[in-house]
Structure 1
Amino acid sequence: MEGIRDALVFLLFVFFFFLVIYILVGKPIVIWIYMIIAWIFLSVFVGKEWEWKGMEFGTGFMFSFLLSPVAAMLFGIFHVLEGKEVKKREKKEEMEKVIKEEKEPVEKKKEPEKKGWEKVLEESGAEYFDIGLDSMLVFKDDGVRILRDLGYYAKEAGELIDSIPVILMENIPKSEVKKICRKLEKAFKIDLIPKKGGKK
């Protein structure tokens, strides 16, 4: 019974030995060299062990020499099957990803929403425009103070200022409007007013 137990322990040891070498080295040729060296060395070791227990060295050596590759073969078969399974799973996942990408509708890039003055410029058939500010907010503090001096209450003065449009430029040709508005919009909210009757 001790001999069988020793054989099983030996096979288990060989299995883990080959496993560690495979993980650390990772090169098939080197692995086989290490396996053969370990195979012979451990067969001698086990043969000696069994010789001390009364078994002939030759018998113990051959027994371990013939049985020790079993663990390696089992590991090799397991590794090959596992590798194929991993590749199969990866290929399946890749195919699913491709199919999913093909089914997903291609999202059209939304064009940036045009600013108010750009929309007016594009849709209007006018050749000339007045360029103004959307309100006098930029001058609100000074405007409120002036109106209060004229007798308005602060709230009334503020509401009045908010409602007053400011015309900065009049009768600007359509070809020049965009360039002017681009500069002004950095600081102001533009109010573009088409001159429907042409230049006046």
Structure 2
Amino acid sequence: MRADARKNRDHVLAVAGAALAEHGVDVSLRDIARRADVGLATLLRHFPTREALLEALLHTSFEELTARADALEASGSPEEALVVWLRDCVGWTTEYRGVTVLMAAAIEDTESALHASCVTLRAAGARLLTRAQAVGAARADIDGTDLFALIAALAWLGDQPALAPRAGRLFDVVASAVLTGAAAGDDSAAGGAKSVAKGIV
């Protein structure tokens, strides 16, 4: 890519990031083009679909969350690693309102520009879940797809102004339901899981 074309692309991305952070993923591509002071055709030449634009914006974040899962898998206790990563993912998805709706669709749509990144992210979470299940720290009747759906549901709560104040407490409730507390030898599985979920920042 020529230097001037790359500069234009980076400018459009910067403007798009600000617009999506302000208005969510439903902001019109025409409005993004107007804000960037380029024609819609120019924007579409770089990013032919909304998903392609989001993939370009979010690619680094996807990679960072995947790397974060790898680091937690190698260091933290299984239950702590799982909850920390869940919290990180939910926090990240609230950066662009409505992004989880597109991610949930993209993971089943092999033609979506977001598909590969979403599948990789789901696999990272599934590894942390499997590790926690192996030591009895997480319930055995859920899988990586369930975990991905829970992230989407918790992120949706954070997107709703009337429900956002409850999002932190409900994260703890969901994390307590995912964990069993068995790895810590707690006589009360629910109580042990709740303390782990609430104790991790």
* Fold agreement, TM-score > 0.5: no
User: With structure 2 as the length reference, what TM-score do the two structures score?
Assistant: 0.30
Structure with greater proportional helix content: 2
Q: Which protein has the bigger strand share?
A: 1
TM-score normalized with structure 1 length = 0.30
